A = this chain, B = another copy of it.
Amino acid sequence: MKNRLKTSLVALLLSSAAFSQTWIWYPGDYEIWLGNQMNNRRTERGAFFPPFWKSDSHYAIVEFSKQLDLAEPEEIFIAAEGKYNVKLDGKLQFGMPQTMLIPAGKHNLNIKVWNQATPPTVYVKGKTINSDSSWKVTFEDKEWIDESGKASDTSATLYMDAGSWNFDGATQLPSQFQLSRTPMQAVTSQANGEGIVYDFGKETFGFITLENVSGKGNVHIYYGESMEEALDKEYCETLDKLYVQPGSITDLSVNETYELTPEYTFDNSKAFRYVYVVAEKGVSIGNVSMQYEYLPLEYRGTFRCNDEELNRIWDIGAYTMHLTSREFFIDGIKRDRWVWSGDAIQSYLMNYYLFFDNESVKRTIWLLRGKDPVTSHINTIMDYTFFWFLSIYDYYLYSGDRHFVQQIYPKMQSLMKYVLGRTNKEGMVEGQTGDWVFVDWADGYLDKKGELAFEQVLLCKSLETMALCAELVDDKSDEAKYEKLANELRSKLIPAFWSEEKQALVHNRIDGKQSEAVTRYANMFATFFNYLAPEQQETIKSSVLLNDSILKITTPYMRFYELEALCALGEQEEVMKEMKAYWGGMLNEGATSFWEKYNPDESGTQHLAMYGRPYGKSLCHAWGASPIYLLGKYYLGVQPTSAGYETYSVTPTLGGLRWMEGTVPTPFGDIYVYMDRKTIKIKSDGGAGTLYVPTKKGRKAIEIEAGKEYKISYPIK
């Protein structure tokens, strides 16, 4: 089992940080509500297309409370989204007070808010009294009146620390949140058949704006990630239909009619590079432009090297990441626009090497988990439940944010209870009715029956994660319980799935019998979870990972792990070739963002098809951006070795490059790394680093102090 990480100082800093006032809510509630807003924006050829799993809602009534100890009287300003009341020391105040004078001394301040449509939120601003995450929240305050007529509070209520984001101004209502927008023009436009096709030059996301529309008749807009898609009116994945008449314009997909103004911008954003605008005779349209929509994020991670193709791969990866980092980390921008756990965990990892935006990670984790009761796996997918567990420890490791683990831990418990309630007598998971056993989109048959080695490996790691998090929240009994379960399962993995004949983990076991199939999935995860003996690990490199007769991986999703496994085994040079071939291959096909799936054996419009639809494939998919992660973690070679980069290691590896340089973001600033064939330069803003420098025979550890610049010639002796 992996070693426990020491508790980070950063975590302590984070949890005790005094924030200024900000809008607060029940943790997870705003995220769930905002997630519904986002997940429900998917359309398919003009039809609303909501998710097919349970969508939860915020608690409609939430009480916010804070214990005060004032040196002097203080006036506070109160705002809330919803109908609210205010109690000072248990006494209800008249109406919904917007200002209030709190006398000096110790007091209990309680604000209770009801809101069905949007989450109950509160904003309090005073000299010392400010709403922030130190406020407590509950959705059921067990207060009642006893026989004596007094309100008694023999509470069994679960109080949580309030959730917040960055709504720090009184008028910055959380329910009104919108991503940022910037007007953009098409690069070219060209008449084509009955309409005009506009090319915005690269994959993009936003709202089409039509200027100076007039006349009477229908206007159809066909969106395409490719030119072929935009021009294919029958099969393009997304479209809009308008009806124009003097003075008004009707969006036919939502039956909404608007006053006609000089600029008409659609309510719903779309993903596209090309837009084909077809107006009926009698309708005239001026310029067609767009409002680019994005989450403002700082590109903190950087990477440059002597190989321009690799630089372009990094740039396109970063752009792909930015397009898919929205209210939440979504899968792809054209089609699902949903939050999927297996996709999200990769976005988180890439994020740690690009934006290091903790808020987006936390929002996404809250949303994915939803509310109790658990009635199915996350996104209905068994593996995605396990990735959710794993992602929490990843987040802790990179951010050092132990407070978040404490907040989410009860939700981890109830989800794990659901999982364990569905294991077989071996303590292993098998797909049951309603479970989607996904693994990967494969160009070949993947058996989903019985005990899949892949799923058990993920379950085992999830149990270890539970034990680690139980320790973090100081739940000794849980820690022992999950450690025991993890150890039991782990001891069964090799006996159950390792085939001496094949020198690999087999794909699955049905009724206690190993199948004949070997796939890459379990083998690569077992590699970087260190579940294999060293000799087994070395063996599967050739028997599986670098063996062309084993079913190839054609999604960047599993390429991510495959290449990570190879990097972990020190195969950076091989991985560099693979990256250039695979992601370079997409670039050669004209990609301006990375795809959901890429099979180098296909050609032309075959690249656009998926799910049996000619344009079903997403050409901008978060999981396509993994070079961001691989280059940061395994070439620049920076990774935390204790939570929040309190300690970290740097193992720069050129992998065939002549030189490279870049920065990796951390909670305390950046770590800069430069390497060529003779020199390593490094500078870090904080933490205690260990740089591993190549020697003639191996490597040597050098301590890196914060703030100092190091320039080291190598190989050192």
Interface residues in chain A, defined as those with a beta carbon under 8 Å from any beta carbon in chain B: 33, 36, 40, 44-61, 83-86, 92-96, 98, 112, 114, 116-118, 139-145, 147-150, 154-157, 241, 252-255, 372-373, 375-376, 380, 432-436, 441-442, 446, 610-613, 616
Contacts of A54 on B, CB cut-off 8 Å?
Answer: 59, 139-140
Kindly state the separation between the CA atoms of A605 and B93 in the bound complex, as whole angstroms.
Answer: 26
A66 CB, min distance to chain B CBs, angstroms: 18
Q: A94-B241, A98-B255, A241-B94 are in contact. Are A142 and B376 (CB under 8 A)?
A: yes
CB atoms of A60 and B59 under 8 A apart: no
Q: How many copies does the complex hold?
A: 2
Q: A140-B375, A144-B436, A241-B94 are in contact. Are A48 and B84 (CB under 8 A)?
A: yes
The answer to whether A142 and B373 touch (CB under 8 A), given A148-B612, A149-B611, is no
Bound: A48/B94 CA distance, A? 8
Tell me which of B44, B140, B143, B156 contacts A433 (CB under 8 A).
B156
Query: Which of these, B55, B92, B143, B434, contacts A44 with CB under 8 Å?
Result: B92
Beta-carbon nearest neighbor of A117 in chain B: B117
A334 to chain B, nearest CB (A): 15
List the B side residues contacting A93 at CB < 8 Å: 47
> With A96-B254, A116-B33, A116-B117 in contact, do A55 and B61 touch (Cβ < 8 Å)?
yes
Considering the chains assembled together, what is the distance between the CA atoms of A33 and B117 in angstroms?
A: 11
User: Are B55 and A616 in contact (CB-based, < 8 A)?
Assistant: no
> Which single member of B86, B149, B441 contacts A610 (CB below 8 Å)?
B149
Please name the residue on chain B nearest to A435 by beta carbon.
B156
Closest to A381 in B: B144
State in angstroms the CA–CA spacing of A36 and B83 once bound together.
12
A613 touches B149 (CB 8 A): yes
Q: Bound complex: CA of A611 vs CA of B145, how far in Å?
A: 8
Contact call B149/A612, Cβ cutoff below 8 A = yes
* Closest Cβ neighbor of A611 among chain B residues: B149
CA distance A56 to B57 in the complex (A): 9
Say whether B155 contacts A434, CB under 8 Å: yes
CA distance A149 to B613 in the complex (A): 8
Shortest Cβ distance from residue A636 to the other chain B in the assembled complex, whole angstroms: 37
- Which of A60, A92, A154 counts the most B-chain CB atoms under 10 A from its CB? A60
In the complex with contacts A36-B60, A96-B253, A52-B149 CB distance below 8 A: no
Bound complex: CA of A435 vs CA of B156, how far in Å?
8
In the bound complex, what is the Cα–Cα distance between A282 and B330 (angstroms)? 61
Most chain B CB within 10 A, of A59, A95, A98, A148, is at: A95
> In the complex, what distance in Å separates the CA atom of A324 from the CA atom of B94?
26
CA distance A139 to B373 in the complex (A): 13
Also in contact, A57 and B94, with CB within 8 A (given A142-B52, A144-B52): no
Q: Determine whether the beta carbon of B50 is less than 8 Å from that of A114.
A: yes
* A372–B54 alpha-carbon span in the complex (Å): 13
Q: Which of B60, B95, B436 contacts A255 (CB 8 A)?
A: B95
**Bound state CA distance, A450 and B144, in angstroms?**
20
Q: State in angstroms the CA–CA spacing of A554 and B112 once bound together.
A: 34
Q: In the bound complex, do residue B118 and residue A49 qualify as a contact, i.e. CB atoms below 8 Å apart?
A: no
Determine whether the beta carbon of A241 is less than 8 Å from that of B373.
no
Taking each of A96, A441, A613, which has the highest tally of chain B beta carbons within 10 Å of its own beta carbon?
A96
Given A60-B36, A98-B255, A117-B116, check contact A140 B45 (CB 8 Å).
Answer: no
Smallest distance from the beta carbon of A159 to chain B beta carbons, Å?
13
Given A36-B60, A611-B149, A616-B149, verify A140-B53 contact (CB < 8 Å).
Answer: yes
Given A96-B253, A147-B441, 17 more pairs with CB closer than 8 A: A33-B116, A36-B116, A40-B114, A46-B94, A47-B85, A50-B85, A53-B142, A57-B57, A94-B253, A95-B254, A96-B254, A96-B255, A144-B436, A154-B433, A154-B434, A155-B433, A156-B432
Contact check, A57 vs B116: say whether CB atoms are below 8 A apart: yes
A-B contact pairs, 11 of them (CB 8 A): A36-B61, A36-B114, A49-B85, A50-B112, A50-B114, A52-B141, A57-B59, A116-B116, A147-B442, A149-B613, A154-B433
CB contacts (< 8 Å) of A432 on chain B: these are 156
Cβ of A46 to closest chain B Cβ, rounded Å: 4
A33–B116 alpha-carbon span in the complex (Å): 8
